[in-house]
Amino acid sequence: MKILVLNAGSSSLKFKLYVMPGKKLLAQGLIERIGEEESVVHIIYDKKRHETTQAIRDHRHALEILEGLMPRLGILESFAELGGVGHRVVHGGEVFTRATLIDKKVRETIRQLIPLAPLHNPANLLGIEAVAALAPAMPQVAVFDTAFHQSMSPEAYRYAVPTEWYERYRVRRYGFHGTSHYFVSRELARLKGTPPKNINCVTLHLGNGASACAVRGGESIETSMGLTPLEGLVMGTRSGDLDPGILFYMYKYGFRNPEEVDRELNRESGLKGLGGSNDMREIQRRMEAGDETAKLAFEVFIHRLVKYVGAYAALLGRLDAIVFTGGIGEHSAPVRRALSERLEILGVVLDKKANESPSTDARTIHTPESRVELWVIPTDEEGVIAEETYKAILDFG
């Protein structure tokens, strides 16, 4: 069965095409600047690259172009070959705890959850509706970023706010990057040759968006993101944790309105707000050149990580491994080194030579005497979505 995985943004459409089972990747690509005169289509397939620039009106038009290109490039004869389409959907609220076949009711529920993810769920819906318009009979499956964290207990997900806020407005911690945390925690168990139930680990998805997750026996018991992806770690452009009183202070004395504060916390804060760039590679380069603002951004980033890993170790009771993934987690040796050096109290001992290795494979970076294993495991969110889509179609299709 051929499964198309879509990750729709407000002006972009990422995709991967798999043959299932086995997760063989046939093609992948990105259609960006949707809605502009010079939209760009990138496709990688069979060790070849295709790129075109043209005006693309909307997501449905983008899919129509993709449907036309794939036969011309010899990737598919037509979309009729597809067994289904899997979608990344950011917020499933408390409703969705697993991958779900999409019908009219599911689509409407995702729409009702837009207030919880106003930047993401509308874009995810655009992809779903584009497929429905183009191929009404095509099975579609939603895989939710929040689903993995639905195993958290009330003491972990409830905020200490009036009960009405939760019961009426569903204000609670949901967590995100669940597909990534699920994959790397399962992959850790596979690589160690033991069932997930035997491992307690902290998984660190570090990229432009960043989150930590405490995984006990294969289940998420705590994670750093909350009602929205703004809570938690320092990120590329997001602040992470801050005193809620800051909001009212900035409304009153900073003369900001809520929309301005929302934009600045989500798009102008984090590494960018502290160090002038949301790219950790640029922060590291400037830090090594003696730039004090870049050094501060790096140190705040690491300090927040240390706080979370230490707290999660206490919650887990026994910490077997720390897993690094995401663009920064997989590629930044300085970040891994700085964090590991500050976690010696947990018995962490970094293998400095292994840490500096430019390998892109899953690997260990701890010494034999380290009480906590250190792993670098590349994430595969699209592969998980393909697997979950395939299972859902077989089980419920």
* Active site members: 145
CB-count burial class (<10 Å; 0-12, 13-18, 19+) for 110:
buried
Strands 24-32 and 39-45: antiparallel
Taking every pair of Cα atoms in the chain, the longest distance, rounded to a whole number of angstroms, is 61
CA 396, CA 385: separation in Å to the nearest integer? 16
Query: How far lies 188's CA from each of 23, 90, 182, in Å?
Result: 18, 24, 10
Q: How many CA atoms lie within 13 A of 208 on its CB side?
A: 9
* Contact (Cβ atoms closer than 8 angstroms) between residue 101 and residue 140: yes
Cis peptide before 21 (omega within 30 of 0): yes
Tell me the chain's radius of gyration from C-alpha atoms: 21
Judged on CB neighbours under 10 Å (0-12, 13-18, 19+), 24 is exposed
Return the residue matching tokens 């030579």. 353
Q: What is the number of alpha carbons within 13 Å of residue 60 lying toward its C-beta?
A: 7
Instruction: Mark residue 63 as left, alpha or beta (left: phi above 0; alpha: psi -120 to 50; beta: remaining).
Output: alpha
- The residue whose two tokens read 């590494």 is 271
For tokens 């909350």, the residue is 226
The Cα–Cα gap between 254 and 240 comes to 20
For residues 85 and 397, give the distance between their C-alpha atoms in angstroms, rounded to a whole number.
12
**Taking a C-beta distance cutoff of 8 angstroms, is the pair 138, 129 a contact?**
no
Which two structure tokens, joined as six digits, stand for 92?
A: 């499933």
Please provide the size of the chain in residues: 397
Map residue 162 onto helix, strand or coil: coil
Q: What CA dihedral angle connects 317, 321, 325 and 329, to 10 degrees?
A: 90
> Is residue 20 within 8 Å of 387, Cβ to Cβ?
yes
Q: How far apart are CA 251 and CA 268, in angstroms?
A: 17
